[in-house]
Amino acid sequence: MNVPEDLKYRTSHEYIRIEGDTGTVGITDHAQAELTDIVYVELPKVGAETQAGGTIAVVESVKAASDIYSPVSGVVVEVNTDLESDPALVNTDPYGRGWLYKIRFTSASELDSLLDPAAYSAKIA
């Protein structure tokens, strides 16, 4: 499974890519493989506020709906509208075009409680 070196991970299989005070959030390659064919993604609204660990989105396969938890607290500044027409991008390119939302985080210290790539790789091994 692909676990990029430049990301931080939540134990519930979300990743965050940090750029300044903003993070891009998606689900990991492992998560998309476990969920299988993704047929619908319910995204948050731009401007929505969330706490770390709060339910922020829903990813649905044919079989089940899975809650997505925000890795950090903050305000949603952008969502991936491409997923409305092509939710399978989460399967085909989870770390690229299959991203879910961008969040301006309020507390950089929350990042310390996330997993580094080695710890996440060990978790899914």
Partner 1 sequence: MSDIPHPLKTALHPAHLALGARMMEFGGWDMPVQYAGILPEHEAVRTTSGMFDISHMGQIFVGGAASLDWLESLFTNRAARLTPGFGQYTLMLNPDGGVIDDLFLFRLGAAQWFLVVNASKAAEDEAWLRTHMVPDIQLTAPGAERAAIAVQGRQAAEVVEQLLSLKLPPHNGIAHLPEQDTYIARTGYTGEDGCEIFCPAKDAVPLWERLLAAGVKPCGLGARDTLRLEKCYPLNGSDLSPQRTPLEAGLGIFTDLSKPAFVGQDRLIHQKIAGVPSLLRAFEMQGKTPPPRAHYPVLASGEVVGEVSSGTLSPSLGTGIGMAYLPPSLKPGDPVEIDIRGKRFPAILRKKPLYPQS
Strand order in the sheet with 49-50: 8-9, 14-19, 22-27, 101-105, 74-79, 49-50
Return d(Cα 31, Cα 93) in angstroms, integer: 12
Binding test (CB under 8 A) with partner 1, winner from 42, 78, 86, 93: 42
58 contacts partner 1 (rule: CB under 8 A): yes
Binding test (CB under 8 A) with partner 1, winner from 60, 78, 86, 93: 60
Q: Which of 39, 119 has the CB closer to partner 1?
A: 39
86 contacts partner 1 (rule: CB under 8 A): no
Q: Which of 58, 124 has the CB closer to partner 1?
A: 58
Q: Which of 16, 31 has the CB closer to partner 1?
A: 31
The CA-CA-CA angle for residues 104, 105, 106, to 5°, reads 125
Under DSSP, is residue 107 helix (H, G, I), strand (E, B) or coil?
coil
